[in-house]
Amino acid sequence: MIRHSRGDIRTNRSALPVLLFILIVFFSACSSPPKEPEPVFTRRNQADSMMAQGHTMTDSLQLAAARASYEGALDIYASLDDRSGTVSALLALGRNSRAAGDADSARNLYTHAEALAVQSGDARLIRDAMNHRADIALRSGDPVTAWEYLDDTTPAVTDGGIRAAQLRLMGSVKYELGSPDEANDYLSQAVNAALIADDMNEAAQAWYKMASIASLEARFDDAEALALKALEADKSGEYGPGIAADLRALAIINTKSGDIVEAEDYYRRAWLALRALGRTDDAEEARSELEKMTGEPVVVP
């Protein structure tokens, strides 16, 4: 049997803190999740930045440039086999095509996005893709098909901005199918879901649709109150296109209710907001309405 001298024991004891430190570092490294390789992390960040650039350019209707940015992001996500990013890029490209007036291309892109989402088994990705398919069907004048996409509860998403979008679209479809009370009920649920999720963009869209319905039904006080809620929600999110749309809606509502002074103010603000976004045609339309009201040329202040 090998025996250690007292000196050996004293040396081993002095080494214990170092040994313990090494063991702690080792086990900490083993227990922490593995870090993503730097090149992958960098490329994913690059794709995310390209998506953000695409959204910014879409807001100002620079659709060709936005499309190129989305396509670059799609290539990166696909090369990384990032299913969520790929689906998001396909949906963005679909919205780009729809904004450019190519509904067929939008449908095709949404279909590809849904197929990938289904393969992933991610309920939120699937619902997001189906929401987009419902939206294009509704915009194409087919609320029945839109409802089929929206009323499919498999898989079910019960909260968040994606659920809020589903409820908002359900409200829009019900209104098109001639059920305004059901429409407002779904839209109210959409607002609640959006506020819980702190998704002010979705809340604004639901309030905007409710304001539109109230205006069509000549409930102008309700319409103005709802449009103001939409405006405040879009302001809180600093969403320029939404702000411009809300201002224009308020101008139309006040025109219909006979409050010309307020209508002029809202048209003027909408015109300036649309100009700032680079939405030339919409800005000119707002300016034209303002000139009809005032009887005077409207120029940049």
Segment 170-184 mean pLDDT: 97
The total of other beta-carbon atoms located within 10 Å of residue 109's CB is 26
Angle between helices 123-139 and 143-150 (to 10 degrees): 170
What's the mean pLDDT when you consider all of the chain?
89
Residue 119: band (very low, low, confident or very high) from pLDDT cuts 50, 70, 90: very high
Residue 36: band (very low, low, confident or very high) from pLDDT cuts 50, 70, 90: low
- Chain segment 90-113, per-residue pLDDT in tens: 999 999 999 999 999 999 999 999
- Chain segment 230-267, per-residue pLDDT in tens: 999 999 999 999 999 999 999 999 999 999 999 999 99
Distance CA 160, CA 155 (A): 14
pLDDT higher than 50, residue 23: no
Residue 40: band (very low, low, confident or very high) from pLDDT cuts 50, 70, 90: confident
CA angle 56, 57, 58 (to 5 degrees): 90
Structure tokens at 37: 């390789």
- The confidence score (pLDDT) of residue 8 equals 33
CA angle 164, 51, 80 (to 5 degrees): 105
CA angle 124, 103, 65 (to 5 degrees): 85
Segment 216-227 mean pLDDT: 98
The total of other beta-carbon atoms located within 10 Å of residue 264's CB is 18
- The confidence score (pLDDT) of residue 153 equals 72
pLDDT higher than 90, residue 173: yes
- The confidence score (pLDDT) of residue 22 equals 45
Please report, as a single letter, which amino acid is at residue 210.
Answer: M
For residues 228 and 215, the answer to whether their CB atoms sit within 8 Å is no
DSSP string, 174-230: HHHTT-HHHHHHHHHHHHHHHHHTT-HHHHHHHHHHHHHHHHHTT-HHHHHHHHHHH
**Range with lowest mean pLDDT among 40-44, 77-81, 82-86, 128-132:** 40-44
CA angle 276, 279, 282 (to 5 degrees): 115
Distance CA 173, CA 212 (A): 14
